[in-house]
Structure 1
Amino acid sequence: MQTPAESTLSALHETLRRDGFSFVAGSVMRELFEQRHALDDWARFAASWDDLAPDAYLASVGHNRSRRYAVFAAGSSGEIVRQPHQPHYQSRDYNNLQGGIERWFEPVLPDVAGSYSLRTILEFCRDFYGDLSPDVAAWHIELHQFRIEARPGQPGQPTPEGVHRDGVNYVLVLLIDRHNIVSGTTTIHAADGRELGSFTLTHAMDAALVDDSRVFHGVTAVEAQDPGQPSHRDVLVVTLRAAA
């Protein structure tokens, strides 16, 4: 007989196979993470979004967008190893706004990369998506910390490139925090543009699990609920691509 966690994972796998995506409530994600390790350092992990760097590659909206970036290598089991800092690259086939160039973002800080919270998230991604692709022996994992701010008269753009694919196998979008914002709705689309589903990440650890080889995704702009107060949407994006 399956445990409750095993039943949840089986149901999520079936949803991904059928639909190519799934929304997972934060309470469920927390339980799945804590099956692996207690998230005792979550508060420090979440606070690290206060120390991101401006996105210098988005001259028009970069003042509303900050981030850090890291790359990891993972086998089908065992240790997940951080790789030397390197640029993020997407072809113009996947990013017509910023594709075709090497983008050097500030690195994820060492204490964040080594935190229990992040290691637990990376192991979950490797194992969950690995079960969907058992023939993949090794993964190239890219990690993005994003903060999108909304300012008076300046909505924040979580996906300035529009509805897109990332050019990888799988994606996890995990909400860390949202403060004083409205909207930020995730939409999932078929290749012909049809909307397949939508949901809004509103609580910490709410997540989108996405088969990037099958569906496209985007996020609507965020606006300040109270324009006189600071507002932000903090997410962690993890992408997995079969290593060459």
Structure 2
Amino acid sequence: MHEPSDPDPARAARIHDTLMRGQGFDFVEAATMRDWLAGTGPLDDWERFTASWDGLAPDAYLAMHGKHRRRRHAVFSLDGIGAEAPAIRRQPHQPHYQSLDYNPLQGDIERWFEPVEDAVADSHSLRTILRHCQMFFGALAPRVRRWRTEVHQFRIEARAGTPGQPTPEGLHRDGVDYVLVLLIDRRNIASGTTSIHALDGHEIGHFTLTRPFDAALVDDRRVYHGVTAVEALDPARPAHRDVLVVTLRADAPVT
């Protein structure tokens, strides 16, 4: 049974808001994150939502580097919190692009991934997650009128003798404003520790997402982040780490 982490979710939100403003990142334990999301909107289709990770397509771009990852991608437009009725709108399917400044492994190319399935994009669970990002990150930047928001479903696979690489580009920034990394599932794997580094390179924190709903919140303008490789505990069995990554970049700031 799920036990609430704090009898006052608003108090917990204020604490994490303060941490984000102060240090540029935060680790939110599963119970707290689930409370936040449940207080934002419905999660009644969570099992169907998480099951969709079994249908992710291979990342052909990363396979060229001998690494194993599955993913789907979608772009949304989120109104800022100053809108009278902040809306969430899915955008036409488009490539994911990062410059070499942010992704030395696969930068300066348009990468076309299989789209997030309509049933997933329209699910209560994803819409609740996006609404939470809209409100939480919007409170950190209330002058932003619209956010360009990318959604990535990732499955990192570890195989016998071949660790999985959650961040094959190494320690990096994504070239956005804010990032949410939400753990969906991890099976038969060890490690996968997230480290956070200041812009001068020194480490300022680390943690491991181990339970569904464990989450990392990152101010991408202020810190670097990376995740250590994951290895199969039992090489004879399938091993994977499933996460949802949501990035927000100001698309229409107030002038």
TM class, shorter-chain normalised?
over 0.9
TM-score (norm 1): 0.97
- Show CA shifts across 1:61-106 (max 9, x none): 34x2000000000112422000000000001110011010100000
2:56 equivalent in structure 1: 52
Give the conservation status (yes or no) of the 8 Å contact 1:76–1:130: yes
Matching of residue 89 in structure 1 with residue 97 in structure 2: yes
For the aligned residue pairs, the C-alpha RMSD in angstroms reads 0.9
Matching of residue 144 in structure 1 with residue 149 in structure 2: no
Matching of residue 194 in structure 1 with residue 199 in structure 2: no
2:23 equivalent in structure 1: 19
Distance 1:180 1:136 in 2: 41
Using the aligned pairs only, state the percent identity: 63
1:76 equivalent in structure 2: 80
Distance 2:8 2:137 in 1: 19
Distance 1:37 1:189 in 2: 33
**Shift of residue 36 of structure 1?**
1.8
**Count, aligned residues:** 241
Matching of residue 102 in structure 1 with residue 106 in structure 2: no
Distance 2:25 2:10 in 1: 19
Q: 2:173 aligns with which of 155, 165, 172?
A: 165
Matching of residue 218 in structure 1 with residue 223 in structure 2: no
Runs of 4 or more above 3 Å deviation: none
Structure 2's unaligned 5+ residue stretches are: 1-6
Structure 1's unaligned 5+ residue stretches are: none
TM-score (norm 2): 0.93
Which is worse superposed, 32-41 or 147-156? Answer: 32-41
Give the aligned residue type for 1:54.
Answer: P
**Shift of residue 179 of structure 1?**
0.2
